[in-house]
Chain A
Amino acid sequence: MRRRAQPWLGTLVEITLADTPSEAAAALAFDAAFGAIAEVHRLMSYHDAASDVSKINQMAVGSAMQIHARTATVMRAALAMNAATDGLFDIACASRLVEWGYLPDAGLEHGRHHQLNHHERDRSALHIDEDGNIQKLAPTLIDLGGIAKGYAVDAAIDALQASGVAAACVNAGGDLRVYGETAFPIMIRDPRAPTQIGFRFDLKDAALATSGSYFSQKTVQGQLRSALVHGVDGSAVVNNISVTVQAPACMTADALTKLVLLSADPRHPLLQQFGATAFII
């Protein structure tokens, strides 16, 4: 077993190769997988002014631009998830996160998003065509933090498979996916005591994502807030539970944790549609 970790996407990304190919083959596989994650980071970072996400946040209403195929894939999935969840999952919650100090107001300083109120957001502010051209139809500020890590894990898994690795695990700060004939031991943090194990099991050929507010809760102007925003009413999720979703792909699992957390329903009918299951601890 070989294991490496690098800081990407605001967290630690860990890659485990279960089989042990030659040193040289393992190095190439790690390079390809971390390379895919680095690319997703560069394209979708809210903080990097050169990322597609920053460009989308700074483009003028009424304008259009071409985005990378990877960004287009994530944006389409995010918009579809927003529609499927009736707005519970929402990438346009960034104005709230800026307000609460979780994100800098990088997109706001240009004045175009000045005083963008959460409740005034237009659900169809962005439109993407088949060629990856994105059009901004109304003011909006997006953050892909609730879905891009899952996508990055899928992209790394694709890279490992293309490199000929038979079994591996990619874990981006709790959003993880395993593939191959090897079952990987997984531990879920206890949301009431995060440095302890709440649940432990083996996972094979599936993706898993966990969301909870226990690491991000803080008091802002007398109100307890977190980095998890309710897409419909704009409130912060502050509780001591965590939601874990298992799905075939990590991008789906990542996004669906927000649906289950906000609906408080681990048997939400939408899960089945995505081939997913969930539990709350």
Chain B
Amino acid sequence: MKPINVTALALAASASSSAFATQYLTVEQAQQVMFPDATGFRDVSLQLTGEQMKQVEKLAGLPARSVAWRVFAAYKGDAQLGYVVLDDVIGKFELISYAVAVNPDASIKQIEILTYRESHGFEIKSPAWRKQFVGKTAAAGLSIGDGIASISGATLSCTHVTDGVRRIAAIAQVALKK
């Protein structure tokens, strides 16, 4: 008898408990889409100091939320083209991973959604539920479920993404600006 793949079962179960889920771009694809001229990307992830956190909060008018931020610098040869900052935000029942392209002068160049997931409501507050999706990519074998269909319904506000972008704009101003 063929052994049952427990990992695959667990993944299938978690995918079906998520009502709607779509993978748009992997981190690597987002880097290419936002900086098509780049020849390389370097991990320059940030650890904000207490003073920087305060400045970010003042500029954004929002809590800085995290000390650590995943950032890649985009290069064409030796010339730096800008940065890609990664973030995840949680709404009422949706978890959105997105990437923000930042110019060297700290202005926002582009925003791309990487993944979109919904829960039926209760799991969204659970760190375990969120952890299985945060930072994952299609290459990591995540099922996208009903991701090929388009959803119609009352407009779901994306205020938390807009706030997240405002926070990243402040972080860029404080910690990335050349």
Contact = CB atoms under 8 A, between A and B. Distances in A.
Given A5-B22, A5-B113, A195-B120, A14 B150 contact: yes
Contacts of B33: 4, 27, 30
A7 B150 contact: no
B9 to A, nearest CB: 22
Given A27-B36, A195-B20, A195-B121, A215 B152 contact: no
A1 B144 CA distance: 14
Interface stretch (A52-60, A170-178, A262-270): A170-178
B157 A242 contact: no
Interface string A22-58: 0000010010000000000000000000000000000
A245 to B, nearest CB: 10
Contacts of B92: 215
Query: What is the interface of chain A mostly: helix, strand, loop, or mixed?
Result: strand
B112 interface: yes
Contact of A189 (B36, B153, B165): B153
Contacts of A193: 120
A71 interface: no
Interface residues of B, number: 36
Contact of B157 (A3, A149, A188, A215): A215
B155 A7 contact: no
B103 interface: no
A200 B146 CA distance: 11
A138 B68 CA distance: 52
- Interface range on chain A: under 10, 10 to 19, 20 to 34, or 35 or more? 35 or more
Interface string A8-28: 001110101000000000010
B120 A174 contact: no
Given A174-B155, A195-B118, A215-B156, A5 B150 contact: no
A166 to B, nearest CB: 17
Given A27-B36, A196-B120, A212 B161 contact: no
B31 interface: no
B107 interface: no
A194 B150 CA distance: 14
Nearest to B110: A6
A244 interface: yes
B122 to A, nearest CB: 11
Nearest to B161: A7
A185 interface: yes
A11 B156 contact: yes
B26 interface: no
B150 A149 contact: no
A278 B161 CA distance: 32
Contact of B154 (A12, A194, A195): A194
B62 interface: no
A191 interface: yes
Contacts of A65: none
A193 B116 CA distance: 18
5 contacts: A5-B113, A7-B158, A12-B158, A188-B151, A212-B154
Given A186-B149, A186-B152, 19 more contacts: A4-B24, A4-B33, A6-B112, A7-B98, A10-B157, A10-B158, A10-B162, A11-B155, A12-B161, A14-B24, A171-B151, A184-B150, A187-B150, A189-B153, A195-B93, A195-B119, A196-B120, A208-B152, A210-B152
